[in-house]
A and B are shown apart, each in its own frame.
Chain A
C-alpha cells in the first residue's frame, strides 16, 4: 500500500518538476533564438518568426529535450539505490 502511494505521489511530484524544467528550457531556447536574430537580423519580421519557428522545431526534436526525461529516471534510480544500500549489509 505504501509502495503504491509512493509511486502515485512520486509520479505527481516528478511530473510537476518535469513541466517546470521543460517550460524553463523552452523559454531559454526561445529567448536565445530571438536574441541571436536581433543581434544579426537577416530579413523582415516574417523571416524572424520563421527563423524562431525552425529553431523551436529543431529544439523539440533535439537531444536536450530528451535529457529532461532524466527527471523521471534519476529519482527511481535514487530510490532503488537507497533501498539496497539501507537493506543489505
Chain B
C-alpha cells in the first residue's frame, strides 16, 4: 500500500513539475498573423492566475483591456518538435510579465503589438513569423498563451533550435548532479560521523548502565549463600 502511495506521489510530482515547465518555458510557433485586437478582460477567480498583471507602471484594476494577437499557425506533434502541413487558428495574449514571474522581464507589450501588426499578412501574400510564447490556450477557461516576441522568417519550413530550453535543461541536470554530490558529501562528512558519535555515546551509556547494574547484581550476589565446598 505504502509503495503505491509513494509511486502515486512520484507520478503526481512529475506531472506537476512537467506541467509547470511546459507552461513556463518558451515555445516557438510558426504562425501567420491575421490581426491584432484589444478586448476587455474580466477575470474570474479561477482564470486570474493564468494572466499576468497590468502594464508595468500602471495601476492594477479588477478588469482591464488586454492585447490579443490572432494568428493562423502550423499544427505540430509532440510539443512543437514535429511541424505538420495542416493549420489551425491560435490566439495569443500580449501582456507585460514585469519583474518577477514568469521571469521573462517583458515590458514591451505595446511595441510587440506594433511589431505583430506590422507583419499582418493576407492569405495570398503570406508572411510567416516565428512567435515565441509561453502558456496555454484553454477555451473553457478563456486562457491564452502570452506572446514574448515575433521574428519574420522566409517560410513555414524554418528550422528552430530551442537554445534556451537546451541550456535550461542542461542547467537543471548540472544542478541536480551538484545537489546529489553535496548531499552525499554532507552525509559522509557530517551526518554519518555525528550519527556514529551518537551511537558511540549510546553504547558507552549502555555499558555504564551495565556496569552499575552489574555491580548491583554482584552485590546482591554476595548475600547469597556460598556453594559449599
Interface residues of A (CB under 8 A from B): 2-3, 5-6, 9, 20-21, 23-24, 27-28, 30-31, 79, 82-83, 86-89
- Whether A2 pairs with B100 at a CB distance below 8 angstroms is yes
Residues 149-203 of B at the A interface (beta carbon under 8 Å): 149, 178, 181-182, 185-186, 189-190
- B175 and chain A: residue at smallest CB distance: A17
Taking the complex as formed, is B55 at the interface, i.e. its CB lies under 8 A from any CB of chain A?
A: no
Contacts A2-B99, A20-B182, A24-B182; A79 near B189 (Cβ below 8 A) = no
Residue in chain A with minimal CB distance to B26: A86
7 cross-chain CB contacts under 8 A:
A6-B100, A24-B185, A31-B185, A82-B105, A83-B105, A87-B107, A89-B111
Known A2-B98, A6-B100, A89-B115; judge A27-B108 contact (CB<8 A). Answer: no
Q: Looking at chain A's contact residues, is the secondary structure mostly helix, strand, loop, or mixed?
A: helix
A56 CA / B186 CA spacing, docked (Å)? 18
In the assembled complex, the CB of B146 is this many whole angstroms from the nearest CB of chain A, namely 11
Which A residue's beta carbon lies closest to that of B181? A24
